[in-house]
């Protein structure tokens, strides 16, 4: 088949064509994608239906750009400094080398022209995009920029299995009294504080705590996409969710109806509001915390990266009594 026809195929159909997944795997991943908002390939890798190496190879075919193996990449510190850590983490990109005025950047989606345009603006270089697997890319960004979940991992390590008893529904009356004690235990308190602090530092808009049959997931919504951050032990489920409900002054004894509340915390000398919603789901209660950081609403002109002349012209323009300013 010609390259044009390969490039025109959707990733799911291309994976089917290559014999890497079957139709059942694809349909299951598409359903999950509708619920999570994650990329289809990432969902298939997460489900264990596809290796990341195969996904990266197929993405290279689809996007018609080279693939890069970040596990063997050696990136100079001066190259990393060209792209801020928060930008790299937010957009899943990693600068890997520079030749003359061209910066080569690994991306999960090398066709995202808006991110490429932003990169050109931030770095003042031409940008050449190559594709890398999302899992590998996340790990590389964490490694090179020293951004990691090690703090959350250390908090999870403090949680011993004997600290919490798995609560059965028939022991509900006992469980409430147990939870009242468990949610004040240091590991639970520190883990929730760590999750909320980490979410604010990463610029997340929401935190999702979601129970499943055999696991509990903590995900952040960053730049409109839900990203899995950590999976606490399933035995922490009740205590973890109840701790949030207590902070939001909700009723921990009520699990069968939705509840709404608010939390106000001081994080990094900023007062942050969290709007809390709990909803009964199949395997417990799902908790969503909307982060309302008023400090993010105040933008500093210096952070826009303008040249001194452009900033001077802009300030002069906005002080005029008539006319308009176009940002293109």
Q: What is the pLDDT of residues 13-31, one digit of tens each?
A: 888 888 888 888 888 888 8
Domains located in the chain, CATH noted: 3-63 (no CATH), 70-144 (3.30.300.160), 149-296 (3.30.450.90)
pLDDT given for residue 171 in this prediction = 42
Q: Splitting the chain (328 residues) into consecutive groups of 10 residues, what average pLDDT does each group show?
A: 47 83 84 75 80 85 86 83 83 91 91 90 91 84 66 55 38 48 65 86 90 87 81 85 91 91 83 93 93 66 72 86 81
pLDDT given for residue 204 in this prediction = 87
Whats the size of the chain, residue-wise?
Answer: 328
Q: What is the pLDDT of residues 279-320, one digit of tens each?
A: 999 889 999 999 987 655 555 666 566 778 888 888 888 888
For residue 280, the 8-state DSSP code is E
pLDDT given for residue 134 in this prediction = 83
Is the pTM above the cut of 0.85?
A: no
Helical ranges in the chain per DSSP H: 3-8, 11-17, 23-36, 40-46, 52-63, 77-80, 85-91, 113-123, 134-145, 150-157, 172-182, 186-201, 237-247, 308-318
Q: What is the pLDDT of residues 151-172, one digit of tens each?
A: 566 556 554 433 433 334 344 3
**CA of 49: how far to CAs of 20, 30, 91, 213, in Å?**
8, 13, 25, 20
Give the alpha-carbon dihedral of 91, 96, 98, 99, to 10 degrees. Answer: -120
Tokens for 14, please give them.
């291309």
Neighbours of 325 (CB within 10 A): 9
Quick check: 96 and 56 in contact, CB under 8 A? no
The structure tokens 């969503």 sit at 288
Residue ranges with strand state E in 158-306: 206-211, 216-222, 225-230, 259-267, 270-281, 284-292
Tokens for 16, please give them.
């089917």
Report d(CA 220, CA 207) in Å as an integer.
Answer: 5
pLDDT given for residue 286 in this prediction = 94
Report d(CA 195, CA 244) in Å as an integer.
Answer: 11
Residue 227, Cα to own-chain centre: how many angstroms? 3
């Amino acid at each position: 088949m010609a390259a044009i026809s390969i490039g025109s195929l959707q990733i799911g159909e291309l994976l089917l064509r290559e014999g890497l997944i079957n139709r059942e795997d694809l349909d299951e991943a598409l359903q999950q994608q509708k619920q999570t908002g994650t990329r289809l390939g990432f969902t298939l890798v997460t489900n264990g239906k596809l290796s990341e190496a195969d996904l990266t190879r197929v993405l290279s075919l689809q996007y018609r750009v080279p693939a890069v193996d970040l596990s063997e990449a050696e990136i100079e510190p001066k190259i990393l400094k060209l792209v801020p850590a928060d930008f790299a983490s937010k957009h899943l990109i990693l600068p890997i080398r520079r030749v003359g005025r061209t910066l080569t950047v690994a991306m999960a989606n090398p066709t995202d022209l808006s991110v490429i345009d932003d990169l050109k603006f931030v770095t003042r270089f031409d940008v050449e995009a190559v594709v890398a697997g999302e899992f590998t890319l996340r790990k590389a960004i964490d490694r090179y920029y020293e951004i990691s979940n090690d703090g959350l991992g250390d908090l999870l390590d403090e949680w011993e299995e004997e600290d919490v008893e798995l609560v059965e529904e028939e022991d509900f009356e006992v469980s409430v009294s147990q939870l009242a004690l468990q949610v004040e235990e240091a590991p639970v308190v520190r883990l929730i504080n760590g999750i909320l602090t980490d979410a604010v530092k990463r610029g997340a808009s929401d935190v999702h705590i979601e129970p499943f049959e055999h696991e509990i997931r903590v995900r952040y919504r960053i730049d409109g996409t839900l990203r899995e951050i950590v999976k606490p032990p399933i035995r922490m489920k009740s205590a973890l969710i109840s701790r949030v409900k207590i902070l939001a002054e909700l009723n921990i004894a009520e699990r069968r109806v939705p509840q709404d509340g608010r939390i106000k915390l001081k994080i990094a000398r900023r007062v942050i509001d969290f709007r809390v919603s709990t909803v009964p789901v199949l395997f417990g209660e799902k908790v969503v915390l909307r982060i309302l950081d008023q400090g993010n609403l105040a933008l500093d002109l210096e952070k826009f990266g303008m040249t001194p002349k452009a900033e001077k012209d802009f300030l002069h323009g906005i002080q005029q009594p008539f006319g308009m300013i176009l940002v293109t």
